[in-house]
Amino acid sequence: MLRDQFGRVHNYLRISLTERCNLRCFYCMPADGIQLSPKENIMRAEEIQILASEFVKLGVNKIRFTGGEPLVRKDFDNIATRLSKLNCEMAITTNGILIDQHIETFKNCGISKINISIDSLKKDKFNSITRRDYFNRVMDNVELLFSQGFNPKLNVVVIKGVNDDELIDFIGLTKEWNTTVQFIEYMPFQGNKWDFSKTVNAEEILRNVSRMFGERNVLKVEDKKNDTSRKYKIKGFSGNFGMISTVSNPFCDSCNRIRLTANGRIKNCLFSGSETDLLTALRNNENVEELIKETVFNKKSQRGGIKNFASEEGRLMSESNRSMILIGG
């Protein structure tokens, strides 16, 4: 088992397949773009398979594809097919634009846990957040997934003054849709001009929801051990909603997540400034297992050691981290 120095077991690997995306969300992709890794430094399909199998040997039992946008990777179907042979749960976080082109692969490879990142239900606002015009395509693909028997989750990054006026609309979707709407607190990453005053924490959201639906109709839903979102549901609604509060109420005590970047580096935490280059080690036929164990063991207790994001130290540490697009959430 992959344990860190605090005894947390790590069995959930998030693999970023690409640094590229077909959207330009302002809180993820820095306004002046990013420096992409040279193509030869990006993991090839067979290397992803070898590294993933190393992690599975060490106890990983869930793999999530992320990006950038994982579905823009031309050989996505090939990678998914290779990893579907590993004995673990398969999941993906996608912006939903290309789902219709890969839904058969999802079925064939057992990719059952699908999270769709969508921050507005208003076309104009969606276009202003993403700097692209794909709203209808994304919504059509959400409907397509439901019609094909999937239960996608919706990930919404909530930013004050941008989309915090749509919380009730998103929760309204859970009346008919047996889905989970996850409200993600706006987090600081390199180049996303984060500001604490733009965050909306769980208490604020719950106050709004209770005011709208009546406190007695807002029911707590049991959270599972490693869950990142704290979930609730509206009485009589099919689905539920949750808050992922990394800034105001971190959930690091039960963290089981490791990240592998598209250029083959392990990040033992979303906010860790240090990384381990697994890809070069693999290409040099070095022992990657020890590197994985050591990197996980040295994980900090919380948020990569960032105590307060709003402090000067917190700001500097976040700016020395990668931009969100190069981590994949």
Give me the residues that bind ligand SF4 (CB under 6 A), please. Answer: 246, 250-252, 255, 257, 269-271, 302-304
Nearest distance from C-beta of residue 300 to ligand SF4, angstroms: 7
Tokens standing for residue 329? 């959430």
Shortest CB 272 distance to ligand SF4, Å: 7
Is the Cβ–Cβ distance between 66 and 262 less than 8 Å? no
Minimum CB–partner distance for residue 257 and ligand SF4 (Å): 5
By three-state DSSP, how is residue 316 classified?
helix
* Backbone phi and psi for residue 56, each to the nearest 5 degrees, phi listed first: -65, -40
Nearer to ligand SF4, 96 or 242 (CB): 242
28: number of Cβ within 10 Å: 26
Where are any strands of DSSP class E within the chain? 12-16, 62-66, 89-94, 111-117, 153-158, 180-185, 218-220, 230-234, 240-244, 257-260, 265-267, 276-277
Looking at beta carbons only, is 186 or 271 nearer to ligand SF4? Answer: 271
Phi, psi of 65 (to 5 degrees): -85, 130
From the centroid of its chain, how far is CA 55? 19
Q: How far is 89 from 76, CA to CA, in rounded Å?
A: 17
Where does residue 293 rank: exposed (0-12), middle (13-18), buried (19+ CB within 10 A)?
Answer: middle
What is the residue type of 206? L
Nearer to ligand SF4, 251 or 297 (CB): 251
Least distance between ligand SF4 and beta carbon 296 (Å): 11
174 Cβ contact partners less than 8 Å away, ≥ 6 residues apart: 180, 181, 233, 234, 237, 238, 239, 240, 241
Please state the closest distance from residue 169 (CB atom) to ligand SF4, in A: 28
Question: CB under 8 Å to 35, separation ≥6 — which residues?
Answer: none
Closest to ligand SF4 by CB, 15 vs 209, is 15
Rounded to a whole number of angstroms, the minimum distance from the CB of residue 293 to ligand SF4 is 17
CB nearer to ligand SF4: pick between 126 and 309: 309
For residue 233, give the 3-state DSSP assignment. strand
Q: How far is the CB of 52 from ligand SF4 (least distance, A)?
A: 19
Q: How far is the CB of 256 from ligand SF4 (least distance, A)?
A: 8
Choose between 183 and 271: whose C-beta lies nearer to ligand SF4. 271
Nearer to ligand SF4, 14 or 82 (CB): 14
Task: Give the pairing of strands 240-244 and 62-66.
Answer: unpaired
Which residue lies nearer to ligand SF4 by CB, 82 or 303? 303
